[in-house]
Chain A
Amino acid sequence: MDKVDFIKDFRDSKRIKALSDIIFKEADRPINIMEICGGHTHTIMKYGLSQILPSFINFVHGPGCPVCVMPKERIDHAISLVQDERNILVVLGDMIRVPGSESSLAKERAKGKNVKVVYSPFDAIKIAKENPQKNVIYFAIGFETTTPMTASVIEFTIKEDIKNLFFHINHVLVPPPIKAIMDSKEANIDAFIGPSHVSVITGAKIYDDIVKSYGTPVVVSGFEPVDVMESVLRIVRQFKEGRREVEIQYSRAVNFNGNVKAQQLIDKYFTTRESFRWRGIGDIPYSGLKLKEEFSYLDAEVIFKDILPSKQIDDHKLCICGDILKGTAKPYDCKVFAKTCSPENPLGACMVSSEGACAAYYKYGKLELTL
């Protein structure tokens, strides 16, 4: 057998077309499928998969973009931290564009504040060593995918006894917001496409409870178009055959139990918060992580408590991100979509990162609007 090409083979147009044909033949009822992860939203929009699926198979774009769901008060924390020039804030990627209540990290960086964008969390260690006179604060974000990386940076910081590196923890969990959405009365979701990379770490076991509680199939899918099409087919077949279960389509990377070593690393340093506020959804109990108390000497929220604002901020009045995340509205239904709300000037969660539903519609969906 030829070697598998992880890009070409999973974007192969013949396979995509074939899966589309089978789904058209077999699908016999409307299904609202929530893809939990922003990466899948991106794939669906980028490859125009809705255009080659029956019109009654409807995608609902879930809350799985860690940048998008970060509430303004957390961004305000980051902005407060860099007002002191003795502090350097280290962040990943497109976090710097996310608007807080009055500014963003990109705007603060332009003013000359110490904001460093890195590709790997481990760069925080390098920056701390290069700047021994400064407090370096790693603004940690992400779902279960990136939490183990933060944990290993913490482990290294302790082992090397680095005294000037601190952690502002914003890690969140996948199952709680899914439950929050399903428990809200308006939610209109029949099945889930489960996240790829989160599931590599957690294993597919975390979705068992969702299937049991809500009777919705969950298919853990890879990120390529062939993966998503195959996952849709698997969901269609579960309904046809009267099954409701967790399936792993992304078997080249995911198993039921996940990466146990990474899970142990997470458990060693983190514990759940009683509540965490999600942009677009609101307060969700036990949905976020924080450092365990014994590591409070590394916790930026403890160390810099005096300068961090505690005011809660509501979402923009005209923004309907909450409804989009519940599957009761589409980005096009929003009055401010592509008008006052755009990727250059996002008002709500879903427009913030390229993986947010509104940003994906803005970037790729204009064709549907012009047709």
Chain B
Amino acid sequence: MREILLSHGGGGKETQKLIKELFLKHFSNPILDKMEDSAVLEINSKIAFTTDSFTVSPLFFKGGDIGKLAIAGTVNDLAVMGAKPLYLSCSFIIEEGFPLKDLEKIVESMAKEAKKSDVQIVTGDTKIVPKGSVDGIFINSSGIGKVIYDGISAQNLEEGDCIVISGTVGDHGACVMAQREGIEMESDIESDCESLWDMVEEVIKHNIKIRAMRDPTRGGLSAVLNEWALSSNVEIEIEEDKIPVKPEVQGLCELLGFEPYSLANEGKIVFCVDNKDVEKLLTVLKNHQKGKDATLIGKVISKGKPIVILKSPYGTGRVMEFPSGELLPRIC
């Protein structure tokens, strides 16, 4: 068996074989191994619940693959609500003829990533669809987490609060774009795709008062800040030269006419904290491998007008727009 066939989704022998020899082999845990119609969970606490579907081209990129992305993405969505990720579901929609070795690579990568945050994949589903119905493979993952830090919300921003980003922006978006379009550069851009619960847990442990926290995925930093400005009805001022950007990401953006702060990230968090907690937050983040490039990039300067402004060091300003439309490269 070298390719996925429609019969693998038929519910019969072939389906059982695929589940046992691939999914159970890598995802095994007492709840999943029971193979019941639902996973039965016991959680005596406030819980966070999230879902996300993943489709990426190319499926394998420098720094990750669709499987790693599916786990890290859902783990991070829980983490930014102050929830310790516990259980995940994973559903696959696979195109007929998809190479089995690629599927195994993806599943292995998911198991490895889940282990990092100590989460269990407790339920799942596989559908095989005729050739051309999907682009290779789509993955949906939902997650349940136990809320450890309550009260995080995009509506919490107050005048004087500080905005911190945990590292460089645009890495994932630039990496996928460059690889998809076959743009060869001197140094390859690597995606930042990774699970961030361990970093968030450190921040929570240090009793830092977190007003808001987001993982800036699609739409990048500018989408998150604009959502916050709208939800809390505040004016946010960002110092453009403080936003950390890797030179190779900046280079690609120059080439194609993009802004790094509108590109997707898969391993970064934007924090909004009270002014008096910001030094502590920066220390905790910088002491963590995943937050070593953490930077204070701006402040909430007033209430009453929802807008995000980018300030230059020579005294000019402009609006940081909500990204819109398809990302299209400029022509000249």
Residues of A within 8 A of B (CB): 7, 13, 16-17, 20, 39, 45-49, 51-52, 66-67, 92-97, 106, 117, 119, 141-143, 145-146, 197, 343-344, 353-355, 363-367, 370
Contacts and interface: CB of A to CB of B under 8 A. Distances in A.
A1 B156 CA distance: 50
Q: Which of B257, B312, B317, B326 has the most CB of A within 10 A?
A: B312
A344 B315 CA distance: 30
B315 A92 contact: no
Nearest to B182: A119
B331 A344 contact: no
Given A343-B325, A367-B309, A367-B319, A95 B331 contact: yes
9 closest Cβ pairs, A-B complex: A48-B316, A13-B313, A94-B328, A13-B314, A51-B316, A366-B319, A364-B318, A93-B329, A17-B314
Contact of B183 (A39, A95, A106, A119): A119
B314 A145 contact: no
Contacts of B307: 366, 370
A142 B316 contact: no
A225 B324 CA distance: 25
8 contacts: A7-B254, A17-B314, A92-B331, A141-B331, A146-B331, A343-B325, A344-B324, A370-B319
B101 interface: no
A45 B316 CA distance: 10
A343 B324 contact: yes
Interface in B278-324: 305, 307, 309, 312-319, 321, 324
Contacts of B312: 13, 47-48
A184 B192 CA distance: 54
A332 to B, nearest CB: 14
B332 interface: yes
B50 to A, nearest CB: 29
Q: Which of A20, A49, A51, A96 has the most CB of B within 10 A?
A: A51
Nearest to A17: B314
A365 B317 CA distance: 9
Contacts of B181: 119
A47 B316 contact: yes
Contacts of B318: 45-46, 48, 364-365, 367
Contacts of A16: 314
Contacts of B3: none
Contacts of B314: 13, 16-17, 20, 52
A329 B318 CA distance: 22
Interface residues of B, number: 27
B117 interface: no
Q: Which of B307, B318, B326 has the most CB of A within 10 A?
A: B318
Given A7-B250, A13-B241, A119-B183, A49 B316 contact: yes
Contact of B316 (A52, A143, A343, A370): A52
A52 B315 contact: yes
A49 B319 CA distance: 14
Contact of A51 (B250, B315, B329, B332): B315
Given A13-B312, A364-B318, A367-B317, A96 B328 contact: yes
B2 interface: no
A67 B324 contact: no
Contacts of A46: 318
Contacts of A7: 250, 254
A117 B328 contact: yes
A93 B316 contact: no
A297 B321 CA distance: 46
Given A94-B329, A367-B309, A370-B305, 9 more contacts: A16-B314, A45-B318, A46-B318, A48-B312, A48-B317, A52-B316, A344-B324, A354-B257, A366-B307
A197 B332 CA distance: 8
B332 A146 contact: yes
A7 B246 CA distance: 13
B103 to A, nearest CB: 26
A231 to B, nearest CB: 17
A96 B326 CA distance: 10
Nearest to B305: A370
Nearest to A91: B331
A143 B309 CA distance: 34
A344 B326 CA distance: 10
A111 B329 CA distance: 22
Contacts of A95: 331
Interface in B110-162: none
A145 B330 CA distance: 13
Contacts of B317: 48, 51, 367
A92 B305 CA distance: 38
Contacts of B250: 7
A10 B305 CA distance: 34
B324 A93 contact: no
A47 B181 CA distance: 29
Contacts of A197: 332
Given A20-B314, A343-B325, A354 B330 contact: yes
A95 B326 CA distance: 12
A67 to B, nearest CB: 6
B72 to A, nearest CB: 28
Contacts of B316: 47-49, 51-52
A94 B332 contact: no
Q: Which of A39, A45, A146, A364 has the most CB of B within 10 A?
A: A364
Given A7-B254, A13-B312, A93 B319 contact: no
Contacts of A355: 330
Nearest to A37: B332
Contacts of B324: 343-344
Given A13-B313, A13-B314, A370-B307, A363 B332 contact: no
Nearest to A46: B318
A337 to B, nearest CB: 15
